[in-house]
Structure 1
Amino acid sequence: MKFLMVGAGLSGAVIGREMAEAGHDVTVIDARDHVAGNCHTERDPETGVMVHVYGPHIFHTDDDEVWEYVNRFMSFEPYKNRVKSTTQGAVYSLPVNLHTINQFFGKTMRPDEARAFIEEQADTTITDPQTFEEQALRFVGPDLYEAFFKGYTEKQWGCSPTDLPASILKRLPVRFNYDDNYFFHRHQGMPRDGYTPMVEAILDHPNITVRLETPYDPSMRDDHDHIVWSGPLDGYFGFEEGRLGYRTLDFERFTAKGDWQGCAVMNYGDRDVPFTRITEHKHFSPWESHEGSVLYREFSRECGPDDIPYYPIRLVEEKAMLADYVARAEAETNVTFVGRLGTYRYLDMDVTIREALDTARAFLKSDATGAAFPIFVNHPL
């Protein structure tokens, strides 16, 4: 069969590689001039620093198969994400842990004492948190909420935490020990030479043709048996039902000599600081040594028609529009929607790869049995 992968990010690359290894003919197109999508990395010519062009991407997973898969194409170096936060005139460790709690409240509590103390701070009258704010007040109380979550969240999402679902905060742990590793997965690391060479290696197969700076045109359907669409779901339909809401990011890049902030990620929790965080990219490759440094100040705002979509909003209005697009998608033939944009879901890199592998296996099963290929292997709703 002839497959057209629309998008040369992780979804298109992994599915394309699996189908190519099964003997199918694969063409991968992307409107950008590089592969790897938003995890694209490149060397800064001035400093030699490996820059995460669209913001930092840190690989972490408990999925052994996915970990083995990425290491097949690029060796990974150990990397622990240790985030700091500047708020109310001091610097703290995130996620909120025993050190954060003791430092913030000026105490020297043991884990059991801190757990009881935080429970005293919490609003126990909230028994079924529905909003982000209720979730935070129930589990950490007003002081930690104001310092670490409220202002940052208002900047990141452009709305009051009372308008966001509680589920957003459920991904942010509070620890009653001194573990400041932001993630808890067994496998954590960074590709030694960057994500873009890794994706290039995935795409390096005689049955794969890659065409960059090539936007999708509907006429391409005529030359292929099946399309794998990893672009925006609403974009496939020309935004005819309206545009699904996203947040986008603006980066204010600057360079410095030496070590500018001493860590890879510094959050800024105060509402009157306009950016959400500063990332110092050489710290994402701690096995390298560079005299110069490249940093990004990161600003979040509503995504416009010409912006890069980052975070799907998925509030009530967007979910209603999403249902309309899903209904239209399910009436299509010879196309499968995949990935973060194609299914309008926030996905970490490891989940993206897992879903891509599952999609390829679903294709091979359908091909073997003569069944129709699925429109969605991972449903958006």
Structure 2
Amino acid sequence: MKKYLIVGSGFSGAVIAERLSKNPDNQILVIDERNHIGGNCFTERDKETNIMEHRYGPHIFNTDNQFVWDYVQNFCEMVPFINRVKTIYKSNVYSLPINLHTINQFFKKTLNPNEAKKFIESIANHNIVIPQNFEEQALKFIGADLYNAFFYGYTKKQWGCEPRELPSSILKRLPIRFNYNDNYYNNYYQGIPKHGYTAIFEKMLDAPNIEIRLNTKFDDSWDIKDYDHVFYTGAIDSFFNYKYGRLSYRTVFFNKTTTEGDYQGNAVINYADPEVPYTRVHEHKHFTPWEDHQKTIYFKEYSKETEANDIPYYPKRLKQDMEIFAKYETEKNTLDKFTFLGRLATYRYMDMHHVIGEALQIAKNFK
């Protein structure tokens, strides 16, 4: 018999637990410091409206990895869902990502795809040869007008700093489509679980050799000698008690409102103007268009720097962060019986399908 400890019940921990549970000789303990499983993907029915609420912000499952897509559907019915994000800038509503309709509406033109490509090429900043930061990358791709409208204010609010302080790698490719496709994602498989994400985790962790302990924090008081291996999915700087310093993250918080009818007519609307304090508004009943609700709930989302009692969301990965992270990485690699996985433990941005794919790959090394 082997004993495994898994720290965290989000997708990283739940996938590892589910895979290990297939061997009945394994004994698996999953702990989570929150009072529920599922991490930031946790969903629950709002008590007043019965709308499926994404407690920590909206999650639309999307991937181009059929293996991951098929794996997740072992635990849910995935309903096709296309996320058609809108953004408001100077009292006008535009489609995101920037597409041919956005370009024509913004510049008051009627360009076709070829004309639009030439036009964007003409307004791009060609004086920037090797972009040194996010702002320069955006200006090189799309020029000042589109950057200031759709990227500057939103990015500054989201990351809490001037975009020129962020690495250029955040914007890896041209953020424009030269057609009228307003599907926010490029991946082939896109959907939302019919009964919410929590139901997925409940099925993943429903095995006689899996024990779950909530409201349980992992720290250096744990005696791990009785475990054959520990899978850690929490923040890597927390694991080492911040001995080299805290890594910087952005976190988000929400102002929830319940009202009658339909608040904004769409699942997600971004607010690009820097003077608007929130980054976006998501209306949760639009994530389940197959349901009918007379009332509605919507969240105004705000971004801020992560403090000691906050839930970290997005690793900032600034230069000083990466220097600190390198020290944690070096020490982590000296540990026996530990595997670090997931967004927080590896200090990188990962979508759900990346997290699941990584966990499935790691699980292959254990029986």
Scaled to the shorter chain, the TM-score interval is over 0.9
Query: Following the alignment from structure 2 to structure 1, what is the Cα–Cα distance between the partners of residues 360 and 179?
Result: 36
Unaligned stretches of 5+ in structure 2? none
Q: What is the aligned partner in structure 2 of residue 213 from structure 1?
A: 215
User: 2:352 matched to 1:356?
Assistant: no
SS state at 2:122 partner: helix
Q: Tell me what 1:370 maps to.
A: none
Equivalent residue, structure 2, for 1:375: none
Q: How many residues align?
A: 364
Secondary structure in 1 matching 2:151: helix
Letter in 1 for 2:3: K
Identity between Structure 1 and Structure 2 (%): 52
Give the aligned partner of residue 341 of structure 2: 338
Aligned pair partner of 1:269 in 269, 272, 285: 272
**1:227 corresponds to which residue?**
230
**Number of the residue aligned with 1:9:** 10
Rounded to whole Å, the distance in 2 between the matches of 1:219 and 1:87 is: 51
Residue 228 of structure 1: how far off its partner (Å): 0.5
User: Contact (CA 8 Å) 2:141, 2:174: kept in 1 or not?
Assistant: no
Shift of 1:28: 0.5
Aligned to 2:140: 138
Matched AA of 1:12 = G
Alpha-carbon distance, 1:216 to partner:
1.7
Q: How does 1:1-381 map to 2 (within 5 A)?
A: 1-23=2-24, 24-170=26-172, 173-217=175-219, 218-364=221-367
RMSD over aligned Cα, in angstroms? 1.0
Contact 1:95 1:172 survives alignment (8 Å): no
TM-score by length of structure 1 reads: 0.94
CA distance in structure 1 between the partners assigned to 2:271 and 2:174 by the alignment: 16
SS state at 2:95 partner = strand
1:226-279 superposed Cα distances (whole Å, 9 cap, x missing partner):
110001111111111111110011111111211100101100000100110011
Aligned-partner residue type, residue 262 of structure 1: G
Q: What is the distance in 2 between the residues matched to 1:172 and 1:46?
A: 43
Query: What displacement does 1:172 show?
Result: 6.6
Determine the structure 2 residue equivalent to 1:368.
Answer: none
Q: Counterparts of 1:252 and 1:222 in 2: how far apart (Å)?
A: 44
**Separation in 2 of the partners of 1:196 and 1:50?**
10
Q: Is the 8 A contact 2:156 2:163 kept in 1?
A: yes
The residue type equivalent to 1:204 in the other structure is: D
Alpha-carbon distance, 1:171 to partner? 5.8
State the alpha-carbon separation in 1 of the partners of residues 101 and 208 from structure 2.
53
- 1:333-361 CA-to-partner distances (Å, cap 9, x unmatched) read 11111101111111000000000000101
Alpha-carbon distance in structure 1 between the residues aligned to 2:174 and 2:292? 32
**Cα deviations across residues 38-61 of structure 1 (Å, max 9, x unaligned)?**
010010010111110001111000
Whether the 8 Å CA contact 2:87–2:96 is kept in 1: the answer is: yes
Q: What's the secondary structure of 2:252's corresponding residue?
A: strand
SS of alignment partner, residue 363 of structure 1: coil
Structure 1 gaps, min length 5: 365-381
If each structure's helix is expressed as a fraction of its own residues, which one has the higher value?
1
Displacement after TM superposition at 1:126 (Å): 1.4
- Structure 1 172/4 Cα, relative in aligned 2: closer, same or farther at 3 Å? farther
TM-score with structure 2 length normalisation?
0.97
User: Deviation of residue 224 (structure 1)?
Assistant: 1.6
**How far apart are the structure 1 equivalents of 2:11 and 2:200?**
10
Misfit runs of 4+, over 3 Å: none
Contact (CA 8 Å) 1:98, 1:114: kept in 2 or not? yes
Which letter maps to 1:316? Answer: K
Deviation at 1:363, TM superposition (A): 2.6
Counterpart CA distance in 2 for 1:165 and 1:38 is: 25
